[in-house]
Amino acid sequence: MKVDLLIQDVRVFNSYLKTFIAGNVAVLDGRFLYIGQRGTDTFEAASILAGEGRYLIPGLVDIHLHIESTMVTPETFSYGLIQNGVTTIVPEPHEMANVFGIEGIKEMIRASRECVVDMKYAIPSSVPATSMETTGGAIEIADIEDLLQNESMICMGEIMNYVDVITDPDCKTNQILNYLRENYPDLVIEGHVPKLLDLDLHKMLYAGVDSDHTHQTVEGMEARISAGMFIEVQEKSMTPEVISYLIEHDVAEHFCFVTDDVMTDSLYDRGHLNHLVKKAIQMGMPPERAIYASTFTPARRMKMHDRGAIAPGKIADFLLVSDLEQFTIEQVYKNGKKAYDAREDYVQSPQPKQFPEHFYRSVRLEPLRESDFLVKCDVPDNRYPCRVMLVQDGSTFTEDHRGIVEVREGELCWEESPYALIAVFERYGKNGNRGYGLISGDTIKRGAVATTYSHDNHNLLVVGHNPLDMMVAANEVIKMQGGFVVVENGQVKASLHLPVGGILTEEPLEKTAKEVEQLRRAMEELGYQHYNPIMSISTHSLPVSPALKITDLGLIDVNAGKVVPLLLM
């Protein structure tokens, strides 16, 4: 029998038995045809691959991530993924949607069509995430209907505004959920339900939201699984307690590993979903369980029944791994053809100008002045209790801390306080809004940082200890049409140019990774103490992530779901 490829002498991972079985594998027309003991006595192969006893594992499947978090284009992202054994992803482009609306989503899909890695998209459901921010675009029910006609769309992305879902039956998000239940009852709906338990958690499930990828505790994870919710475990949830629970309990069908947000330098240096697989194994999870949770269960969750397993009829996406404990990937095949070999050069030549011209002119802000960082307060001179955003290493959550600040001659004396200033400037030319707050904790201790890479609205976010540094940082970002800038004593210490929508670069992965590392180091030199300072600061404007955040409308009490004043009168 003629086949395209015969792989001899491999230990094949059988997803259905969750074990490795020695044998041979035949591939025909990009799909697995046969797995067993037959070899050249049965098959006439156009190509024979010597397995040499290596492990044959399905291509890794990541069902919850945001390409924009790596700040590169789909083409560059695919280049980084395939080297790490990831052959299928389900990205949710809600960052680009917040900047450009449905056009941003369609352009991301278009930019990914020629990528080696399969990209099946999630429809951004929460654009904007709340009504308490200004974005460049919005996704309405008509847009969702339009997108559902695109075969690349396979699920509804994370429902982020959980406060409204459980408290306001008539909110926009509930209207979307009602529409989907009525018209697309089989559509997978992804969730974002941090810390919810008991009745509030069950309300989300009742509304149709049946997964969660946020920071897990054993208590919360058990409550979710017992209620029928699928858990997507990202690295920050991989605590010893959580991993032990996943090992000791019969819950293999109810969770998978996902990356969510991976910074460029991390993708380049550590890897992607393969890094989580390796980490889980090193934390004591049997390799078979870790592989199952990064191939079969995520594919099944997204109803991609044509992949995630090495079996007859499945797409021939696979890895050849030499060391299971270290998860050492030697070769990656996509649709039965070699896509990566660790022994061969793999050079990237990214295409320039992959997006429409106006995507490179999205920051509509005039240069700022030092006076833009003076905070007016229409109250008598006095010392006032105030809200302070407290940054914590180990989490992107912030605390709503209480402090004291002085007001003199109608101005907030923030420079004389123990706190830095955080400001958000609406950058789409819609209303000129600006919000101000105070920030402390594990953030910078001097200088300033400015960025348009600020989840999810991507307005101009500036944190600093003096108006001059804040002005210099902000204006440099405005000048280069988006990015990150770190300033100290009026001098730029590090910068990252993100010209596509103010959130992506078209530069090669290696170059961007080095610039991101320099940016991270510059922030740490200013005193930022965080496992990921870039992700930390970029989520200060995310009004669905507890507890105190800031947008162009002002400070946001996330749990209460409302704008709150800086001063407590």
Q: What is the pLDDT of residues 437-449, one digit of tens each?
A: 999 999 999 999 9
- The pLDDT score that the predictor gives to residue 394 is 85
Cβ contacts of residue 348 below 8 Å, gap of 6+?
76, 79, 508, 509, 510
Check whether 312 has a pLDDT greater than 90: yes
Contact 422, 461 (CB under 8 A): yes
Whether residues 268 and 378 share a domain: the answer is: no
pLDDT at position 544: 87
Instruction: State both tokens at 337.
Output: 């053809």
pLDDT of residue 228: 98
Q: Is 415 exposed, middle or buried (0-12, 13-18, 19+ CB in 10 A)?
A: middle
| Angle at which helices 172-183 and 141-148 cross, to 10° | 40
CA distances from 421 to 286, 289, 386, 462 (A): 48, 47, 13, 8
Same domain as 391, residue 453: yes
Nearest CA to 296 out of 59, 119, 32, 12 is that of 59
Average pLDDT over residues 380-399: 95
The model's pLDDT over 326-374, given as tens digits with 9 standing for 90+, comes to: 999 999 999 999 999 999 988 788 888 999 999 999 999 999 999 999 9
For residue 389, give the H/E element and its range.
Answer: strand 382-391
- Distance (Å, rounded) from C-alpha 77 to C-alpha 64? 14
CA pair distance 520, 411, nearest whole angstrom: 33
Q: Please, which residues bridge with residue 563 across strands?
A: 556
Domain assignment present for residue 489? The answer is: yes
**pTM for the whole thing?**
0.93
> Is residue 7, in this structure, part of any structural domain at all?
no
Per-residue pLDDT tens over the stretch 136-175:
999 999 999 999 999 999 999 999 888 889 999 999 999 9
Residues 100, 142: contact at Cβ < 8 Å? Answer: no
Question: Mean pLDDT over all residues of the chain?
Answer: 96
**Span 185-189, average pLDDT:** 97
User: Which CATH number covers residue 180?
Assistant: 3.20.20.140
Q: What percent of the chain has pLDDT over 90?
A: 94
Domain co-membership, 282 together with 367: no
435 neighbors 421 (Cβ within 8 angstroms): no
Q: Are residues 252 and 133 in the same domain?
A: yes
In a domain, 569, yes or no: no
| pLDDT confidence band for 568 (50 / 70 / 90) | very high
Confidence check: pLDDT of 430 > 90: yes
40 within a domain of the structure (yes/no): no
Domain boundary among 292, 308, 324: 308
Does residue 36 surpass a pLDDT of 90?
yes
Rounded Cα distance between 25 and 40, Å, is: 11
What is the distance of C-alpha 7 from the center of its chain?
35
Instruction: Provide the pLDDT for residue 366.
Output: 97
Structure tokens at 300: 């099944």
Where a domain ends, among 282, 308, 334? Answer: 308
Is-contact 297 61, C-beta < 8 A? no
Does residue 238 lie within any of the structural domains?
Answer: yes
Q: Do the Cβ atoms of 313 and 305 come closer than 8 Å?
A: no
- Give residue 532's domain range: 359-563
Cβ neighbours, 10 Å, residue 204: 24
| Averaged pLDDT for residues 57-81 | 97
- Rounded CA separation 57/291 (Å): 8
Strands (E), 398-511: 398-408, 411-412, 420-425, 434-441, 448-451, 460-464, 483-488, 491-497
Q: Which 3 state secondary structure label does DSSP give 359?
A: helix
Same domain, 296 and 368: no
Structural domain total, the chain: 2
Domain identity same for 261 and 155: yes
Q: Which tokens hold the place of 465?
A: 């200890």
**Domain presence at residue 140:** yes
pLDDT at 406: 98
Q: Indicate whether 341 belongs to any domain.
A: no
